[in-house]
Amino acid sequence: MKAAVKKTIEKYGSDKYRLMDVLIEIQQENGYISKEAIAQIAEEYGMSEVDVEQTVSFYHFLSQKPTGKYSIYLNNSAVANMMGRADVAATFQKELGIKFGDVTPDGRAGLFETSCIGMNDQEPAAIINNHIFTRLTPFRVKEICRDIKEGKEVSEMFVQDWGDGENRSDLVHSVVSNNIRKIGPVLERTFKVGQAIEKITKMKPEEVIDEVKKSNMRGRGGAGFPTGLKWEFCRNAAGEKKYIFCNADEGEPGTFKDRVILTERPRLLFEGMVIAGYAVGATEGIVYVRYEYKYLEKHLEDILQKAREVNYLGKNILGKEGFDFDIRIQFGAGAYVCGEESALIESAEGKRGEPRDRPPFPVEKGYHDMPTVVNNVETLCSVVKVILNGGDWYKSLGTHESTGTKLLSISGDCKFPGVYEVVWGFSVNDILDMVGANKEDVMAVQVGGPSGAIITTNEFNRILGYEDLATGGSLIIIGKQRDILNDIVLNFMDFFISESCGSCSTCRIVPTLMRNKLNKILNARGVRQDLDDLHEWGKILKASRCGLGQTAGNPILSSLKNFPDLYEEKIQKNKTFDSGFDLNIAVKESAKATGRIPNV
Amino acid sequence: MSQFVRFTIDGTECMAAKGQYIVEAAKENGVYIPTLCNFPGVKPKGGCRICTIRVNGRLMTACTTPVAEDMSIENEVKDIRELRKSIVELLMVEGNHFCPACEKSGQCELQALAYRFQIMAPRFPYQFPVRKIDASHPKIMKDQNRCIQCKRCIRAIKDEKGRNIFAYRKRSSSVEVVVDVKLGKQLTDELAQKAMDVCPVGSILVKEKGFVIPIGERKYDNMPIGSDIENMQVSKI
């Protein structure tokens, strides 16, 4: 064990900033990270044990207890529930004889909940030892559990055919489907690798930035910051080294477009990073990929290696003196908040994924305190097309405020869930037609994931774009058969509660209080004051440090605004006060201990 | 020579050295901005959010934002005052804070802020979490009931090799500040005292040292928090 840990540390250059890689590797080797391993890592890096532990305990996929020879992580997103997760979950528990969070007594299998794994268009889905299982049914779960009991390799458990496209390739072999339903300029297949790199070698870095600025492109992660401007800030910032980060940590429940790009268009993405590197004067690129997509690792590494062989990466790229750029992949370990750019950088430095205070912004002080650009996967892909076709061409697509195209991840109650590339400016109605949703049956659409807004039918004429309905691309269609408060809002609140980094007081405390209040209302104990409280408490969250905290109340605030009737019909009309206190529940524990039956 | 910048706090003209954190700049101008996770000489981490101010229309934390020319800062305005009060109440209900039984009463910044904001009872429901007291270390006790996760001890207390003695564990509402098992045992008297002094509440206590200063003579017993700054004589521009 000791030798193995030492070897892993040395593999990553005995550099404590690579702690994440070391921890992930030990976790994979042993199924957990032992006290001894933590002590050894601390010793090697000259850190205290508690300091190593604070990183370990932050991430969902790092564990200090054994997680079983087979570690099963079943997604618990709202859409998974809509697609029949309850039966799947029950079957897992029954077949394995354990509850969620437990490991079988023989240490064979562990069963855990996990936040959205980016498979919303093929739920219910689970990750077992980094292999993805999609479209699970109770029958399929029984087969899997039987295979587990027989000790089959996970890679041999698949009986379905592989998914489409690269999912079939030897280096991926997954049952995941791309579900690409509509192709536009970013996803189109005629792209010739290296063309854009060739082109920029004849341009000055400033000209590259000008072209991107001309396109009016805005970041595709959701915040919508102008890409060209970000690059210019970074280029002009002082620093001996600069970095390009690709944010491939899409964790917003309902988003999965980046998974499809990583599967089908990684060359395009890497080319975008090379362009960004050239433009800002960076020599190193890091793709921060969420742990859930670990199954794509070999595929991505292979493409990077091939790019190095033809000098699209490396030193003096395509013969241009001083044009050096290489890319490495950094995996996360399960934390939604790491999608926030400064948290992502912290995580890539081997620390807890806690957002930094701004200013300074990453473009001034980012990775290793050097100027750093963090761009979304889709942004970097779009940049390549801007370089090839020009900023004016790009600007001609979409609307005035929102130029170009947007990849949408569409899931929920519709015929054709999947990824759609559309120009900006479509209405929600158009989208519903496109995805085969029967409008008669649609009650609501969740735009932009839990941190976004839930909108009603009378807002379906609103336009997708930064000027109206901004979105990182996730659209969840909610049919009339759903119970919005129980199925969607409560699930989203639980998501934010478990994904908070916990370092700022507002985001650590308020969402729990709001969720409890929602539960009180759902338990028919609510009064009007509770609705007013939810409004007021939600405002406190605006003082949180990062976007996660600031939007953590949105599931409640947005449904309260757009579906007030759902709340109104659940509160008590004849009461102005209800403490929500239940004596039976309060004395349950002591009654049990003393063997008494509460006489209330 | 350092450069000076002009800015306003609630409409009053102020001046301070460029690059100074707003909370310090305000202090020099006789304006108190409440803080809790901030501690002089320790790298700020806008964790508690109580120093939230509005700068040119945007919410920022005064402990982490450097002052700049022409900033228009809102401090003592209704919604921000409400927000700060809410944060004190949130911290009160999140843990188990029983002031009459606490060794730090009278020197506790959370308690002092609760007085400043005239909190009679928090408007949020008490969470009554089940939390532990770690008394396993020879010199200090770590009472998790009172910890407000401000990270002051994490940032301020290091051993001679620069290693962290305190650190976070877990995340979200399960987050807690814990003491390193090995380094906690080697803690010097001096560091133990520093840890207790750095803690804004009564979560870190030096064993057998809780009542060195008698109640009634403690820091905030006779002087409300912030009053030292507010009563300061400031030479106006």
Q: Where are the beta strands (DSSP E) in A213-341?
A: 243-248, 284-289, 326-331
Tell me, what's the pLDDT at B220? 95
Please check whether residue A540 touches B, CB under 8 A: yes
Please say if the pLDDT value at position A459 is more than 80: yes
Q: Which two tokens stand for residue A54?
A: 């604070």
Is residue B145 included in any domain, yes or no?
A: yes
B66 with B161, same domain? no
Residues 141-200 in B contacting A (C-alpha not used; CB under 8 Å)? 148-149, 151, 159, 161, 163-175, 178-183
Which residues of B fall within a CB distance of 8 Å from A361?
A: none
Please say if the pLDDT value at position A71 is more than 90: yes
Q: What is the domain-level CATH number for residue B18?
A: 3.10.20.740
Tell me, what's the pLDDT at A599? 64
Is residue B230 included in any domain, yes or no?
A: no
User: Which of B153, B168, B178, B186 is the mutation pick for testing A, counting most A CBs within 10 A?
Assistant: B168
Distance from CA of A500 to the nearest CA of B (A): 5
Please check whether residue A499 touches B, CB under 8 A: yes
Which residues of A fall within a CB distance of 8 Å from B56?
A: none
* Residue ending a domain, choose from A395, A418, A435: A395
Across the range A115-139, mean pLDDT stands at: 97
Max Cα–Cα distance, chain A, nearest Å:
86
A195 with A332, same domain? yes
Percent of chain A whose pLDDT exceeds 70: 99
Q: Which two tokens stand for residue A375?
A: 């761009």
Domain count, chain B: 2
B176 with B65, same domain? no
Please say if the pLDDT value at position A88 is more than 90: yes
Write the residue in A357, A500, A580 that is nearest to B45 by C-beta: A357
* Residue ending a domain, choose from A97, A126, A160: A160
Please say if the pLDDT value at position B236 is more than 60: no
Please say if the pLDDT value at position B100 is more than 70: yes
Is residue B225 included in any domain, yes or no?
A: no
Beta bridge mates, B157: none
A120 with A213, same domain? no
Is residue B156 included in any domain, yes or no?
A: yes
A416 with A276, same domain? no
Range of the domain at B108: 85-206
First to last CA, chain A: 58
- Which residues have a Cβ under 8 Å from the Cβ of B198 and sit 6 or more positions away? B39, B42, B152, B153, B156, B157, B204
Which residues of A fall within a CB distance of 8 Å from B61?
A: 357, 545
Is residue B216 included in any domain, yes or no?
A: no
- SS3 at position A406: strand
A219 with A308, same domain? yes
Across the range A565-593, mean pLDDT stands at: 91
Tokens 């062989």 sit on residue = A309
Q: How many CA atoms lie within 13 A of A141 on its CB side?
A: 25
Tokens 């995340």 sit on residue = B171
Distance from CA of A229 to the nearest CA of B (A): 21
pLDDT digits (tens, 9 = 90+) for A170-181: 999 999 999 999
Across the range A306-335, mean pLDDT stands at: 97
Phi, psi of A326 (to 5 degrees): -140, 165
- Which residues have a Cβ under 8 Å from the Cβ of A336 and sit 6 or more positions away? A115, A251, A252, A495, A499, A548
Please say if the pLDDT value at position A489 is more than 70: yes
Distance from CA of A59 to the nearest CA of B (A): 8
A35 with A9, same domain? yes
B103 with B196, same domain? yes
Which residues of B fall within a CB distance of 8 Å from A498?
A: 172
A84 with A185, same domain? no
- SS3 at position A566: helix
Q: How far is CA A322 from the centre of its chain?
A: 35
B49 with B113, same domain? no
Query: Rounded to whole angstroms, how far apart are CA atoms A157 and A175?
Result: 11
- Which residues have a Cβ under 8 Å from the Cβ of A216 and sit 6 or more positions away? A226, A391, A394, A395, A403
Please say if the pLDDT value at position A261 is more than 90: yes
Tell me, what's the pLDDT at B232? 82
Is residue B127 included in any domain, yes or no?
A: yes
B40 with B95, same domain? no
Tell me, what's the pLDDT at B229? 93
Is residue B122 included in any domain, yes or no?
A: yes
Please check whether residue B83 touches A, CB under 8 A: yes
Q: What is the domain-level CATH number for residue A346?
A: 3.40.50.11540
Please say if the pLDDT value at position B1 is more than 60: no
Please say if the pLDDT value at position A61 is more than 90: yes
Query: Rounded to whole angstroms, how far apart are CA atoms A328 and A283?
Result: 11
Question: B37-64 as b/e, with b when 16 or more CB fall inside 10 Å?
Answer: bbbeebebbbbbbbbbbbbeeebbbbbb
Q: Which two tokens stand for residue A364?
A: 């001034």
- SS3 at position A503: coil
Domain count, chain A: 5
Please say if the pLDDT value at position B18 is more than 60: yes
Max Cα–Cα distance, chain B, nearest Å:
54
A383 with A452, same domain? no
What are the residue ranges of helices labelled H in B46-188? 78-94, 109-116, 152-156, 181-185
Query: Rounded to whole angstroms, how far apart are CA atoms B94 and B101?
Result: 18
Percent of chain A whose pLDDT exceeds 90: 93
Tell me, what's the pLDDT at B82? 97
Tell me, what's the pLDDT at A159? 75
Cross-chain Cβ contact A505/B90 below 8 Å: yes
* Residue ending a domain, choose from B19, B43, B76: B76
Is residue A219 included in any domain, yes or no?
A: yes
pLDDT digits (tens, 9 = 90+) for A370-400: 999 999 999 999 999 999 999 999 999 999 9
Q: What angle do CA A313, A319, A320 make, to 5 degrees?
A: 90
Is residue A409 included in any domain, yes or no?
A: yes
Please check whether residue B68 touches A, CB under 8 A: no
B19 with B91, same domain? no
Is residue A576 included in any domain, yes or no?
A: no
Is residue A235 included in any domain, yes or no?
A: yes
A229 with A378, same domain? yes
Please check whether residue B229 touches A, CB under 8 A: no
A547 with A420, same domain? no
Other C-beta atoms lying within 10 Å of the C-beta of residue A572: 15
B30 with B108, same domain? no
Beta bridge mates, B21: B66
Query: Rounded to whole angstroms, how far apart are CA atoms B123 and B105?
Result: 22
B22 with B99, same domain? no
pLDDT digits (tens, 9 = 90+) for A544-573: 999 999 999 999 999 999 999 999 999 999
Q: What confidence category does residue A222 fall into, taking pLDDT thresholds of 50, 70 and 90?
A: confident
Q: What is the domain-level CATH number for residue A457?
A: 3.10.20.600
Q: What confidence category does residue A45 fall into, taking pLDDT thresholds of 50, 70 and 90?
A: very high
A77 with A29, same domain? no
Given the DSSP bridges, would you call strands B4-9 and B72-74 parallel, antiparallel or unpaired?
Answer: parallel
Please check whether residue A506 touches B, CB under 8 A: yes
Cross-chain Cβ contact A506/B148 below 8 Å: no
B98 with B49, same domain? no
Cross-chain Cβ contact B168/A503 below 8 Å: yes
B140 with B46, same domain? no
What are the residue ranges of helices labelled H in A416-545? 428-434, 490-499, 505-522, 528-540
Is residue A348 included in any domain, yes or no?
A: yes
Across the range A474-493, mean pLDDT stands at: 97
Please check whether residue A64 touches B, CB under 8 A: no
Contact indicator for A111, A135 with CB cutoff of 8 Å: no
Is residue B231 included in any domain, yes or no?
A: no
Contact indicator for A229, A270 with CB cutoff of 8 Å: no
Across the range A305-322, mean pLDDT stands at: 97
Q: What is the domain-level CATH number for residue A512?
A: 1.20.1440.230
A376 with A252, same domain? yes
What are the residue ranges of helices labelled H in chain B? 22-28, 78-94, 109-116, 152-156, 181-185, 189-198, 227-230
Q: How many CA atoms lie within 13 A of A366 on its CB side?
A: 32
Tell me, what's the pLDDT at A336? 97
Please say if the pLDDT value at position A600 is more than 80: no
* Residue ending a domain, choose from A376, A395, A414: A395
Across the range B94-114, mean pLDDT stands at: 96
Could you give the ipTM of this predicted complex? 0.96
Is residue A577 included in any domain, yes or no?
A: no
B95 with B149, same domain? yes
Is residue A591 included in any domain, yes or no?
A: no
Lowest mean pLDDT among A269-273, A504-508, B218-222: B218-222
Cross-chain Cβ contact A357/B148 below 8 Å: no
A368 with A271, same domain? yes
Task: Report the chain A residue with the minimal C-alpha distance to residue B174.
Answer: A502
Cis peptide bond upstream of A417, omega within 30: no
Is residue A497 included in any domain, yes or no?
A: yes
Range of the domain at A76: 70-160
Which residues of B fall within a CB distance of 8 Å from A357?
A: 44-46, 61, 64-65
B137 with B201, same domain? yes
Beta bridge mates, A403: A398
Tell me, what's the pLDDT at A158? 84
Q: What is the pTM of this model?
A: 0.96
Torsion on CA atoms A178, A184, A186, A192, rounded to nearest 10: 100
Write the residue in B46, B148, B164 that is nearest to A50 by C-beta: B164
Question: What is the pLDDT of chain A when averaged over all its residues?
Answer: 96
Write the residue in A50, A543, A580 that is nearest to B167 by C-beta: A50
